[in-house]
Amino acid sequence: MDMNDMERKEERSLNFLERIIEDDLANGRVPDNLIVTRFPPEPNGYLHIGHIKSICLNFGLAEKYGGRCHLRLDDTNPEKEEIEYIEAIQRDITWLGFDWGDHLYHASDYYDQLHRIAVNLIEEGMAYVDSLTAEQVKEYRGTLTTPGRNSPDRDRPIEENLRLFEEMRQGKHPEGSYVLRAKLDMASPNINMRDPALYRIKFASHPRTGDKWCIYPMYDFTHPISDAIEGITHSICTLEFEDHRPAYDWATSIDGIGHTPHQYEFARLNINYMLMSKRRLLNLVKLGIVSGWDDPRMPTITGIRRRGYSPESLKDFVARVGVAKVESVVDYNLLEFCAREDLNKRAKRVMVVLDPLKLVITNYPEGETEWFDAENNPEDPDAGTRKIPFSRELYIEREDFMEVPPKGYHRLYPGNEVRLKHAYYVTCTGVIKDAQGNVKEIHCTYDPQSRGGTTEDKRKVKGTSHWVSAAHAIEGEIRLYDKLFSAEYPGARTGNYLDDLNADSLVVVSTAKLEPSLKDARPGEYLQFIRNGYFMADSRDHAEGKPVFNRTVTLKDSWSKKAAKLE
């Protein structure tokens, strides 16, 4: 941590969860003064940026207060859950830099205990087997403004409840024929307290317990009891669970549970132009709109990682967003801002020409190659230098030349002198065109005195261009990514988010000329293609002899901004 970070940390006031925890610690409300949190994803999809907020909160609070954070896979819905997701979740959290140590749990670890607790509840007359159909349950439940009605099965004798529940477990009854419900209060103003279901029948194979069970416990029963079994002190979740808190408190107060965690709710992270729901993201994958969960346009951790974001920039992003109790939408630009801030410090600068235009230096000896030392990162002297070849024929970016420049254009045009990054000053002396009149190549002379990018007379040039030596360049595929959705709130206009897909979210450039050092690039290495943005080798498709790079985020380009203003 450098000084700035430390100051920022100290200046930041405590968020509401930190205040609660410090108060609990100060007043002896935490057993052994050990804060225990958990991150409880349901393995029904890949984690997304929203989850990063919850991960940073849960693991971060445990870290800050010397406690621990459990990773618990909330695997009570066997039909939608897959081992692939379970593995991806662990990979993603580890990549973010968090460690659950020995504390990896599954809700399914507690199936036996949950079953025993359910049987006890029946024995004490606090739970009953209900034969109402799903529609009837709904009808009996009442509404927000009207109380519910008791099910005719509510007074079923204990012995019969025990027998039926056992038969449910043995698979003697079809799905939907019975549920086990807690006997709470059908007139409660909180609908979640109107005899919530505890168990349902589901003939589904579970990724971990196989075919052992054909009854599965419900979320409102499983989650609080799992928290209690693990000794969780602060159970942090998103606001939509606020209405479930009374059910949570009921479950953790069942006789014999023995530990009372508390639930606290915070506002989930929303970002404009993005969808953050596993169900919808799965739909994009299934429809083939993206190439998979790790498509670099996906807001999944695996997707943005492949796109080239660092864990640090994502943690910085959620720290800047902060923790609140009121829903809000964070601007996508903040995410890109954090990426640029971070990548500026760590990315290795290299030269890649995306849209090449040949530049011939007519007074430079034919067949000669000079090797320049190029600084890898002006922000980081320890990043060192690399060798780049220079020769008579180069490529520059087509947009870096104009035959008839508008006012304020400082790059190359006939008669103008510019600096070639790391190399020499060149002056444009001529333009060669093809039969259609398109500029095919430009001719320049160079000033041998300007080697390394300055001259003795300290003559000023306003433009600097990146370039690649034609004879040494390698070719590769460059994938320019943009937002997946073009509308700020996808689906708001028509009700269908597919109507707001951005047709230009991926532009593949196959003309690029890359400096030869890039043949050693590998996924995980942060790169800046000078003037073109931040990039990373693609973790799936990049291969020796067939480079593929993804654009993480653009740089702020002062020229295009200025051009936009002039329009």
Whether 107 and 141 have beta carbons less than 8 Å apart is answered as: no
Decide if 28 contacts 67 (C-beta within 8 A).
no
Beta-bridged to residue 546, according to DSSP, are: 543
DSSP 112: H
Which one-letter amino acid corresponds to residue 48?
Answer: H
Nearest Cα residue to 383 out of 354, 355, 353, 346: 346
Which of these is catalytic: 68, 200, 245, 278? 278
Of 40-48, 116-124, 466-474, 552-560: span binding ligand ATP (CB under 6 A): 40-48
- Residue 238 interacts with which of Mg ion, ligand ATP, none, CB < 5 to 8 Å by class: ligand ATP
Judged by beta carbon distances under 5 to 8 A according to partner kind, the member of ligand ATP, Mg ion, none in contact with residue 483 is none
Segment contacting ligand ATP (CB under 6 A): 39-47, 384-392, 421-429, 454-462? 39-47
Catalytic (active site) residue 268? yes
Active site residue 278: yes
Query: Quick check: 40 binds ligand ATP (CB under 6 A)?
Result: yes
Q: What is the DSSP letter of 308?
A: T
421 contributes a contact to ligand ATP by CB under 6 A? no
Structure tokens at 280: 């919808």
Q: Applying CB under 5 A, which of residues 42, 375, 488, 525 lies at the interface with Mg ion? A: 42
* 352 Cβ contact list (under 8 Å, min separation 6): 466, 468, 478, 512, 513, 514, 515, 518, 529, 530, 532, 535, 549
CB of 237 to ligand ATP, least distance (A): 4
Is 51 near ligand ATP (CB under 6 A)? yes
Number of residues that bind Mg ion (CB under 5 A): 1
Residues 353-372 binding Mg ion (CB under 5 A) are none
Residue 482 binding result from Mg ion, ligand ATP, none, given CB thresholds of 5 to 8 Å by partner type: none
Listed ranges 37-45, 243-251, 291-299, 451-459: which one lies at the site for ligand ATP (CB under 6 A) = 37-45
> x-or-dash pattern for ligand ATP, window 428-447, by CB under 6 A?
--------------------
Q: Which is nearer to Mg ion, 42 or 379 (CB)?
A: 42
Minimum separation from the CB atom of position 447 to ligand ATP (A): 57
Q: Give the one residue of 268, 358, 398, 451 binding ligand ATP; rule: CB under 6 A.
A: 268
Which of 21, 35, 36, 54 touches ligand ATP (CB under 6 A)? 54
Q: Which helix (H) or strand (E) holds 465?
A: strand 464-465
Q: Any residues with CB less than 8 A from the CB of 428 and at least 6 apart, and which?
A: 401, 412, 413, 414, 415, 416, 442, 443, 444
The H or E element spanning position 181 is strand 179-182
Burial of 431 (0-12, 13-18, 19+ CB in 10 A): middle
192 or 554, CB closer to ligand ATP? 192
Please give the residues from 275 up to 314 whose contact with ligand ATP meets the rule CB under 6 A.
276-278
Q: Which is nearer to Mg ion, 45 or 60 (CB)?
A: 45
Residue 84 DSSP SS3: helix
- Sequence length of the chain is 567
Cβ within 8 Å of residue 47, ≥6 positions away: 41, 55, 88, 89, 92, 93, 300, 301, 302
Please identify, among the stretches 42-50, 182-190, 438-446, 553-561, the one whose residues bind Mg ion according to the rule CB under 5 A. 42-50
Residue 197: contacted member of ligand ATP, Mg ion, none (CB under 5 to 8 Å, by partner type): none
Q: Is 154 a catalytic residue?
A: no
**Active-site residue, selected from the candidate residues 18, 29, 42, 312:** 42
Query: Which is nearer to Mg ion, 268 or 320 (by Cβ)?
Result: 268
CA 51, CA 54: separation in Å to the nearest integer? Answer: 5
Contacts of 383 (CB under 8 A, 6+ apart): 348, 375, 376, 377
Q: Which stretch binds ligand ATP (CB under 6 A): 51-59, 93-101, 109-117, 401-409?
A: 51-59
Which among ligand ATP, Mg ion, none contacts residue 53 (Cβ within 5 to 8 A by kind)? ligand ATP
Distances in whole angstroms, Cα of residue 378 to Cα of each of 349, 526, 536: 9, 14, 19
Please count the helices (runs of H) and the strands (runs of E) in the chain.
14, 29
Residue placing its CB nearer to ligand ATP in the complex, 276 or 461: 276
Q: How many residues bind ligand ATP (CB under 6 A)?
A: 14
**Residue whose CB is less far from Mg ion, 224 or 547:** 224
Measured between alpha carbons, how far is residue 384 from residues 372, 498, 525, 526, 540 in Å?
A: 13, 46, 15, 15, 28
From 14-22, 47-55, 476-484, 543-551, span contacting ligand ATP (CB under 6 A): 47-55
Of the candidate residues 36, 218, 237, 304, the single one contacting ligand ATP (CB under 6 A): 237
Q: Please state, in angstroms and rounded to a whole number, the distance separating the CA atoms of residues 126 and 312.
A: 49
d(CA 96, CA 489): 28
Residues 189-208 that bind Mg ion (CB under 5 A): none
Per DSSP, 100 falls in state -
Question: Which residue's C-beta sits nearest to ligand ATP?
Answer: 50
CA 185 to centroid of chain Cα atoms = 41
Closest approach of ligand ATP to the CB of residue 205, in Å: 21
Q: Is the dihedral of CA 419, 424, 426, 432 positive or negative?
A: negative
Binding interface with Mg ion (CB under 5 A): 42
Binding interface with ligand ATP (CB under 6 A): 40-42, 50-51, 53-54, 237-238, 268-269, 276-278
Q: Which residues are catalytic?
A: 42, 268, 278
